[in-house]
């Protein structure tokens, strides 16, 4: 597999239709700019769906890729190494934030185990049957994946994207369930943006203290030394400093763009995968929307590089697709408004014309009296 092949497979979203949506928006009964960012979201959907007005989002789905990262053993995460399966169980049991929100919104959630470090018996078969390997390598001193494993992970993500498109999913909320995942994400962003470790090192979804932040910064610095020599090949980069879940999410994002399935990105991990995807196919970000800004410095840098403007900024750092799911109702509202709001009635026609007609002459008093005699 060569990720550069996606450059020929992914086209731009329909710019002419986006202009058509802007023109139609100017004719709607609601004044221009009165709906704020909702106008922009509706126009993005028009271009992605290839129709104006857009279809109302009817079958969204949350897709979460799960994995453990060996670098978590350096105590760079707020969670212990190998605990990602507990995050998965919370989603499956309906007790995690994303599960609660998805249940309330009636949105199904799918979890894909790409690289959890746990016994498969701990989770349902439909979750673990896709696993590429058990945990990813410690990226500061070794590769995260072998060449065969990174190929398998990217193909896994692409296959999941095809399954979702074939099943009728019309928008995906993408997130990750990982321990240590923000560290390789920061490495990828720093490598692709040409920045130092300290610029992209955040405190992760679980939060870490200052000492853990310094350990994380050192791990990212060491992993960057391993990443820079392989910047010319995205698969080699993912194998060196990514992970099974990260490689799978990258393949998923690229194939969603091929299948013209719009995706809402969550936090720094999905942003890092999108950045790798943009490096492979520069038109791919047309199909993605940044759901939220988490406060992770690496995420902000990646979104800026891709010119993606986050929908929300609520300080949600819990991960697992939660912030992106919060943005979904706004996208649904934007599609409904652009699809269903009536256009203004032109002066001189229809009801407007009736209102503009001269009022009927009022009869004089004698005429009224003679009519009532």
Residue 120 has pLDDT above 80, yes or no: yes
Query: Which alpha helices (H) appear in the chain, and where do they start and end?
Result: 6-9, 15-27, 37-49, 84-92, 97-105, 125-128, 147-166, 182-193, 197-200, 210-227, 234-241, 244-258, 268-280, 297-306, 322-340, 350-356, 365-372
Query: How is the chain split into domains, by residue range?
Result: 3-340
Residue 286 has pLDDT above 70, yes or no: yes
Query: Does an H or E element contain 174, and which?
Result: strand 171-179
pLDDT (tens digit, 9 = 90+) per residue, 224-235?
Answer: 999 999 999 999
Query: Does an H or E element contain 290, and which?
Result: strand 288-290
Give the Å distances, CA to CA, from 183 to 204, 266, 272.
8, 16, 10
The overall average pLDDT reported for the chain is 90
Confidence of residue 205 (pLDDT cuts 50, 70, 90): low
Architecture of domain 3-340: 3-Layer(aba) Sandwich (3.40)
Q: What is the pLDDT of residue 206?
A: 66
Instruction: Average the pLDDT over each of 15-29, 112-126, 293-307, 311-325 and give the range with the smallest value.
Output: 15-29
pLDDT mean over 31-51: 88
């Amino acid at each position: 597999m060569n990720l550069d092949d996606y450059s020929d497979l992914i086209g731009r979203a329909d710019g002419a239709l986006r202009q058509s949506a802007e023109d139609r928006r100017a004719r709607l009964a609601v004044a221009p700019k009165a709906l704020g960012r909702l106008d922009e979201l509706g126009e993005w959907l028009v271009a992605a769906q290839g129709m104006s007005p857009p279809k109302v989002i009817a079958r969204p789905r949350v897709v979460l890729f799960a994995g453990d990262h060996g670098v978590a053993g350096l105590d760079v995460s707020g969670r212990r190494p190998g605990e990602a399966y507990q995050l998965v169980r919370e989603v499956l049991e309906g007790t995690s934030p994303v599960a609660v929100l998805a249940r309330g919104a009636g949105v199904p959630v799918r979890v894909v185990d790409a690289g959890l470090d746990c016994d498969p018996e701990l989770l349902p078969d439909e979750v673990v049957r896709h696993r590429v390997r058990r945990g990813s390598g410690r990226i500061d001193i070794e590769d995260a994946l072998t060449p065969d494993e990174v190929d398998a992970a990217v193909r896994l993500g692409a296959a999941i994207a095809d399954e979702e498109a074939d099943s009728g999913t019309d928008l995906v909320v993408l997130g990750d369930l990982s321990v240590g995942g923000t560290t390789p994400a920061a490495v990828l962003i720093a490598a692709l943006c040409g920045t130092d470790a300290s610029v992209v090192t955040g405190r992760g979804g679980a939060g870490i203290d200052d000492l853990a932040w310094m350990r994380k910064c050192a791990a990212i610095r060491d992993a960057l030394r391993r990443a820079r020599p392989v910047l010319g090949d995205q698969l080699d980069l993912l194998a060196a400093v990514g992970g099974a879940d990260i490689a799978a999410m990258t393949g998923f994002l690229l194939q969603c763009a091929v299948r013209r399935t719009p995706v809402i990105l969550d936090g720094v991990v999905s942003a890092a995968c999108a950045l790798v995807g943009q490096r492979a196919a520069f038109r791919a970000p047309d199909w993605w929307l940044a759901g939220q800004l988490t406060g992770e410095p690496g995420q902000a840098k990646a979104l800026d590089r891709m010119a993606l403007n986050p929908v929300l900024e609520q300080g949600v750092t819990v991960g697992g697709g939660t912030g992106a799911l919060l943005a979904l109702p706004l996208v649904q509202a934007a599609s409904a408004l652009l699809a269903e709001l009536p256009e203004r009635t032109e002066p001189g026609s229809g009801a407007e014309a009736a209102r503009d007609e001269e009022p009927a002459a009022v009869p004089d008093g004698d005429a009224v009296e003679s009519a009532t005699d």
